[in-house]
Structure 1
Amino acid sequence: MRKKCLFLAAAIAVASITVSGCKKEEQEPAGPIEQSLAAVTVNELKSGCYYVKNGGDFFELPTEGLNFDPSRPAETTTMEPNGIIRKDANRIVDFVYKDNAIPILYKNDQLVFKASGNVPSFTWERFRDQGYSIGLYGLSSSSAGKIQFENGKSGNDGTSSITAAISASLADGMTLDNGFVLDKINGASLTGDNLRPGGIVAGLTKDAVANCDLYVGTALISACATADMRAFTSFELYTTDLYSNSPNGYAIIDIPDYLKSGYYYINNAGLVKYYNVERGTDTADIKMDDPYYYEDNSGNVMTYYEYLEKTGAISQNTEIQGGASSLEDTPDIMDFNTDVTQSGITFNIAYKFQTKEAETAAKQTGKFPRVILVSPTGTATELASGKNSGDDEWVYMGSTVEGAVAGAWQLRFYNFENLYRSVSTDIASGNAKSFVQSGSSGQITIHYDDSPIANDITITWQNSDHAASVVIRTPDGTEYSREKTPGNLMLDEYGKVVFKLPGLTNGDYQFLIQGTDLGRVWVDSEESVSLDSSAAQTDPEDTEDAGTETAETKAEDGFGETAAQD
């Protein structure tokens, strides 16, 4: 790893350099040669080097040209803690002979490090690929609109063809102490519009001929070079610490899940091309410079996810101006109907991505799942999303509407391809005894007065060819179900179940019905004869702890791994 030199007259030996033609120079055997991707074995790993491990092959992360001191740690432009977005592309790595030796790391590969001492922390400095150009960088546009090379600000790759070409073109006594102006390439005048970030000339392809006209002072010189330098400019920075030791003598570095696809320079030691997908996945549409850190209009730095929330995602349920008529069409709609005005209705939605690749694609495109609730009156509300814990793969949305009006309610789903989902409804009512279940589960709350007489509770549903599971939860938390109280289950068939309750307690009873697309569900109650004392009545309190079963039932009612999936 060598630091870049500047063009200084005293540092350029002209006599020993000859230029023939506009192509990459034929090198002496002792000089640098083109390198390509080459695998080594575990016994050939070198201390202090990083490798991509794929199967039994190891591919070293290369380094070549730098414009900074690699012995100093990477810092952000503003000297803030690691992770702050860079204000400009002030750090450059480039390759003239090793651009074809940059290995590709997939998330199911391993990034390994060979150490002879303690294993360090790992700095992931993310770079943008600026493509191929002549071997100059840090160029700038002067007040006169000219592209200038300034000593102390600009730099060059000492092994690039432009370095040799300029050196050979200098007349006796001519120096570059005061820099020079790069006026034209292949006869085309250059302006600031021709510069990429990092002050790199744009518009050239690998090894393209570049006949350069330069002015040293007012003297015109010509230099015949090629676009032989591939340059990368820094723009983000991360630090990690986790690794595991392999018995084969190297450390396996933990790759963070949040790391986005891109080029990463690891601990100033080598560059790797990283795809945040499994090996074998099509990578043609993956962006390598999609930022993780963003700035808002006030200059505040945000993470990618904070940026989404601020610019697109929402943190609380939000009414959409224009209502239902302003919404985009979607074929993915669920309808829910109520007969009378309810005291309340709750919608619960949970989703998770079927694969990590699907989640990655959503992050790359910004097309995250959205759900919009439309009322019978046409009011449209976008539902906020969130997670219960960092380890939970499910994302949750919900809305409770007090005083819900009668009619057709809709849940409109957008960008729900490649997802698992669960939808449930909870209708709270003092008088309504039916609801329409279009999702995988639903519930209704009905108030009953005290009654010491046994009651038969009958639950029926419209689509009687669909199976359903029913749980009745009393005001004191007692639960009746097929599993817990089989002695109270009087009838259990497709389309209808009947439970006998020994009496009713004043309060709200919850009826939790799990089953896919049952249609309208009715709940009815009528007094009946009590169970004989010798009958096999099962007391829920004698079976399992009610609180435990309640938690299990809740998981099954919409948001656990057992939830119905599209």
Structure 2
Amino acid sequence: MKNKKQRRSLMAGILIGSAILLSGCGTDKIFVNEEDAYKIVNLSDRELENDKYYVKTGADFNVVYRPNGTASAKTQMQSDSRLFWTMEDDSLIPTLYKNEVIAYQSENTQLTDITLERFKDIGYSIGLYGGVMSSDGYIDYNIQSQIVENCSAYDILYNAPSKQIRLATINDEPVTDDMLDSSGTIKGLDQNGTYDIGFYSGTKYMTATMSADVHFYQSYEISQIEKAGTTKNGYLVIPMPEDAKSGYYMMNGSGLYRYYAFEKNTENVETVDMNEPFYETEEEKIAAYSQQYMVSVQTKTTNVAFNMEYDTEEYEDDEIKCILVSPDGTTYNLVPQNGTASIELAEVIAGRWTINVLPKDLIVKDIKAESTAATADSSTETKSFYIGEDDENIQFYAQYEGEGDVWGIVENESGESQELDVDTQNHELTTTYSYLAAGTYTMTIYHYKDTKIGEMGYQVDTDNEEHEIITIGD
């Protein structure tokens, strides 16, 4: 039988062993008590590590927290599929208030072009993400790649007969597209609420009760901070932008922190809207993290191709995004492939079209919009004109003979085009520029064999000069 001294030594060994087990592999701290694993650790400036970001509150420093998720690295491109998720570890997200700073220690003396990615709090859900609504009315998930480990749904579904899961009902109600968030998570569930889920695992129908025990954060907005400030304290400081909204942020792909756009203890944090948008329109949001090009369409036009040529050295095609925004806000995606991203639209409305290109530092070689109305059995006539200085009320014209179809455009050096109007009575195509910048303009006429193109040129539009032009609105 062991004596008291031996028992005390044995008990001490057990306690030390427990502390080591709780520390986990690769963590920064060893926690004596299990509950301490989900408490933020305050550090001093002597404990800072290089190339990490810390919320500085008074003399304390809290390292930003990187939860599990699909937002695996710094990005210049906002994407609804970029997610973080938390469970008990939600408490490890540190809080920053207005007029406090992020601290960054490094061997480098400067930090510039800082990317600030904001995340939307999309609430709690069962631990499935990236789902899509199928044509036959189910929400499809692949359990090998679209499930959060160690949550309620994981415990039930991971050992199901098939890795292909099709959600059919929630609380006996058939699933609908309205239940699915843009991240592919089920929305509208209560925190830690329990739900009866009907699903197919392969061809086998099953039911199970799952808990909405996973807190999801979704990439929301991208902005830039020009540079960090220097101090004599051995670290750089990065203040939040003056007009930043309250919300969840990640700096340069480091980790999450919670930001309140007011000083500590001046407002009730429980009533703050953490998802208030910073950008008023989708176009403004896209413009913040992309390079932009404008194409002006003067009149409603059919069969137009938008093309963007880019350098293929730095980025793969799947890293490039090209978004076309119409004057009424409709968006289209140009498909990048081997140095060219393009889309053809059957009809484009008049106004300013915007092409947004990501990443922001991608080398763009050319942007243009051109008519694709020509068919295999049609012919083209092309003539270029050099305009030596800016001018006003300049009309481009082309004369033709015959009764067949004829159409055409005038294009400037930037690829912006203007459609020619067809006067079938006078057998003439014309378009007028109220203001014409100096440069080279190319007229392209499309026609069939039963039509012959005559003189092509430009002149002052005297009819337009004789009348005062009044523009109402923009």
TM-score normalised according to structure 2 size = 0.49
Q: Comparing both structures, which one devotes a greater share of its residues to strand?
A: 2
Give me the TM-score of the superposition, normalised by structure 1. 0.41
Rg larger for? 1
